[in-house]
Amino acid sequence: MIDLKSMLPEELAQYIQGLGQPAFRAMQVFRWLHQGVESFDEMSNLPKALREKLASECRLSSPTVRHKQVSRLDGTIKYLWQLWDGNFVETVLMRYKYGNTICVSCQVGCNMGCVFCASTIGGKARDLAPSEILDQIIFTQKDSGERVSNIVMMGMGEPLDNFDNMLRFLNLVNHPSGLNIGMRHISVSTCGLIKKIDKLASLGLQLTLSVSLHAPEDHTRSQLMPVNQGIGVNALMDACRRYFQTTGRRISYEYAVIDGVNDSDDQADRLADLLKGQSGHVNLIALNDVKESPLKPSRRVRQFQQRLESHGITVTVRRRLGSDIDASCGQLRRRSMKEEISGAEKESAG
């Protein structure tokens, strides 16, 4: 079955024209798809024969809400979606004064193996198609009645490990006849795949690249993030500098502060040293609890921040949203259907 919603407008036009239809039909279909219709019959301005033809050749993805949780603390909403093949992914909608930010997943699970993150437990089941990344936004808007203005690719998965689908998703979501969300309202977060950082740089997109750094020296970073082994912090920082030179976009460095692991003054000094001469900024994240991990949040976040600031580094501390519903960074996880359904039933019973 053809995945229409993953097609760029020009590809859609080619396909529709191939069916003997005029080109303008393609944009009609494109608009309907991006509005989140759940059947071809809803595409009411298309001739019936075309709707039937599309229904016989194409798959119209619409994930179902398997579970929805709303934080009592801050109104953050977490969705667990069931995909067409029975896999699950999570999406988080965060409400800020300046607009809503959605955190989308790009893979079912993750292969990167970061020791502090729940998304990688059990590895990666598969990549998400562009349409499946997009659907998280379309159907979150539809279900919640809220409009999304900013996107962060910081849910489950490693965006640069699903590069082509990520790129197609970015082009789709950015399209004026679709959701029309500007690149400057989109952040892509990576654990640091340097070849892919260079590839992204060459495209010159105006999005914000976030790099998950988490430690300034190889010894610690390789322990926390296996992806660092064989690459190393210096090579990563070189790639980040090239990215800035090529795109003119500052990088945001994410740093989850972990008790006794990466929170010493000495490490703050080394981190500042790494960032010298770069106009990047550091986003500190209080480590969120993942029950399989023995790591604890640092008690020195404030001191660590001040130490960095004393070197002239711009630092922000990420607000923790949705912590009562395990919707914070690193808490999204791939679940088996059995586990999830029994969990959801228990909750609705109690």
Question: Residues of 202-241 as b/e, b for ≥16 C-beta within 10 angstroms?
Answer: eeebebbbbbbbbbbebebbbebbbbbeebbbeebbebbe
165 binds ligand SAH (CB under 6 A): no
Token readout for 263 is 């929170």
The residue annotated as part of the active site, out of 11, 309, 329, 345, is 329
Give the nearer residue to ligand SAH in terms of CB position, either 50 or 148: 148
Give the nearer residue to ligand SAH in terms of CB position, either 174 or 190: 190
Cβ–Cβ under 8 Å, residues 315 and 284: yes
Cβ–Cβ under 8 Å, residues 223 and 258: no
Interface pattern 326-345 for ligand SAH (x via CB under 6 A): ---xx---------------
The residue annotated as part of the active site, out of 90, 132, 158, 254, is 90
Give the nearer residue to ligand SAH in terms of CB position, either 33 or 321: 321
Residue 307: CB minimum distance to ligand SAH, A: 20
CA 22, CA 168: separation in Å to the nearest integer? 24
> Hey, which residues between 9 and 38 contact ligand SAH (CB under 6 A)?
none
CA 237, CA 149: separation in Å to the nearest integer? 30
Among 26, 54, 92, 290, binds ligand SAH (CB under 6 A): 290
Give the nearer residue to ligand SAH in terms of CB position, either 272 or 286: 286
154 binds ligand SAH (CB under 6 A): yes
Residue 21: CB minimum distance to ligand SAH, A: 40
Token readout for 36 is 């989140």
Residue 117: CB minimum distance to ligand SAH, A: 4
In 3D space, the residue among 116, 262, 98, 249 whose CA is nearest the CA of residue 188 turns out to be 249
92 binds ligand SAH (CB under 6 A): no
Residue 247: CB minimum distance to ligand SAH, A: 18
> Hey, which residues between 228 and 257 contact ligand SAH (CB under 6 A)?
254, 256
Q: Which residue's Cβ lies closest to ligand SAH?
A: 330
In 3D space, the residue among 59, 172, 167 whose CA is nearest the CA of residue 106 turns out to be 167
Question: Residues of 9-38 as b/e, b for ≥16 C-beta within 10 angstroms?
Answer: beebbebbeeeebeeebbebbbebbbebbe
189 binds ligand SAH (CB under 6 A): yes
- In total, the chain counts a number of residues equal to 350
Amino acid (1-letter code) at residue 188: V
CA 280, CA 278: separation in Å to the nearest integer? 5
190 binds ligand SAH (CB under 6 A): yes
Give the nearer residue to ligand SAH in terms of CB position, either 141 or 262: 262
Stretch that binds ligand SAH, among 46-54, 77-85, 283-291, 308-316 (CB under 6 A): 283-291
With tokens 């640092």, the residue in question is 298
Give the nearer residue to ligand SAH in terms of CB position, either 68 or 196: 196
Amino acid (1-letter code) at residue 125: A
Cβ–Cβ under 8 Å, residues 81 and 91: yes
- Identify whether 345 is a catalytic site residue: no
Among 80, 128, 231, 287, binds ligand SAH (CB under 6 A): 287
Continuous segment of H or E residues that includes residue 29: helix 24-35
In 3D space, the residue among 92, 77, 89, 71 whose CA is nearest the CA of residue 329 turns out to be 92
Residue 78: CB minimum distance to ligand SAH, A: 14
Residue 201: CB minimum distance to ligand SAH, A: 17
Amino acid (1-letter code) at residue 81: W
Residue 184: CB minimum distance to ligand SAH, A: 19
Give the nearer residue to ligand SAH in terms of CB position, either 70 or 295: 295
Collapse the DSSP code of 40 into the 3-class scheme (helix H, G, I; strand E, B; otherwise coil) and give the result.
helix
- Identify whether 132 is a catalytic site residue: no
Give the residue numbers annotated as catalytic, written as ranges: 90, 329
Which residues contact ligand SAH by CB under 6 A? 114, 116-117, 154, 158, 189-191, 212, 254, 256, 285, 287-288, 290, 329-330
